[in-house]
Amino acid sequence: MRQSQLFTKTQKQVSEEEVSVNAQLLMRAGFVDRLFAGVYTMLPLGLRVLAKIENIIRAEMNRVGGQEVLMPALHPKENWLATGRWDALDVLFKLNGSGDKEYALGASHEEVVTPLVKKFAFSYKDLPQAVYQIQTKFRNEARAKSGILRGREFRMKDMYSFHHNQADLDEYYSQMIEAYWRVYTRCGIREQTYLTFASGGTFSQYSHEYQTVTNAGEDLIYVCDQCQIAINQEIIADTNNACGQCKNTDLRQVKAIEVGNIFKLGTKYSAPFNFTYTDENNTSQPVIMGCYGIGPSRVMGTIVEVHHDDKGIIWPAEVAPFTIHLISLCQTSNDVTMANELYKKLTDAGIEVLYDDRPDARAGEKFADSDLLGIPLRVIVSAKTIAAHTVEVKPRSSAESSLTPLTEFLARYV
Ligand code: ATP
Ligand code: MG
Question: Would the CB of 18 count as within 6 Å of ligand 1?
Answer: no
User: For residue 76, what are the β-bridge partners?
Assistant: 103
**pLDDT 10s digits, 342-358:** 999 999 999 999 999 99
pLDDT at 369: 98
**Ligand 1 pocket: which of 159, 298, 299, 305 to mutate (most atoms within 8 A of CB):** 298
**pLDDT 10s digits, 235-290:** 977 788 889 889 999 999 999 999 999 999 999 999 999 999 999 999 999 999 99
Q: For residue 140, which of 220, 36, 33, 293 has the smallest C-alpha distance?
A: 36
Question: Would the CB of 150 count as within 6 Å of ligand 1?
Answer: yes
pLDDT at 204: 60
Taking residues 385-414, what's their average pLDDT?
96
Closest Cα to atom 2 of ligand 1: 258
Which domains, ranges and CATH numbers included, belong to the chain?
Answer: 3-309 (3.30.930.10), 322-413 (3.40.50.800)
With beta carbons less than 8 A apart as the criterion, state whether 112 and 72 touch: yes
Q: How far is the CA of 366 from the centre of ligand 1 (A)?
A: 37
Contacts 24+ apart (CB under 8 A), 361-366: 363/329, 366/327, 366/329
Closest Cα to atom 23 of ligand 1: 295
In whole angstroms, give the CA distance from residue 22 to residue 403: 33
Scored b (16 or more CB within 10 A) or e, 219-253 reads bebbbbeeeebbbbeebbeebeebbbbeeeeebee
Closest Cα to atom 21 of ligand 1: 295
With beta carbons less than 8 A apart as the criterion, state whether 302 and 23 touch: no
Res. 124: pLDDT tops 70: yes
Give the dihedral of Cα atoms 267, 272, 274, 277; nearest 10 deg: -10
Taking residues 401-409, what's their average pLDDT?
97
Q: Is the pTM here over 0.85, yes or no?
A: yes
Question: Would the CB of 183 count as within 6 Å of ligand 1?
Answer: no
Q: Who surrounds ion ligand 2 at CB < 5 A? A: 261
Res. 392: pLDDT tops 80: yes
Closest Cα to atom 19 of ligand 1: 295
Identify which ligand lies nearest to the alpha carbon of 141: 1
Taking residues 144-152, what's their average pLDDT?
93
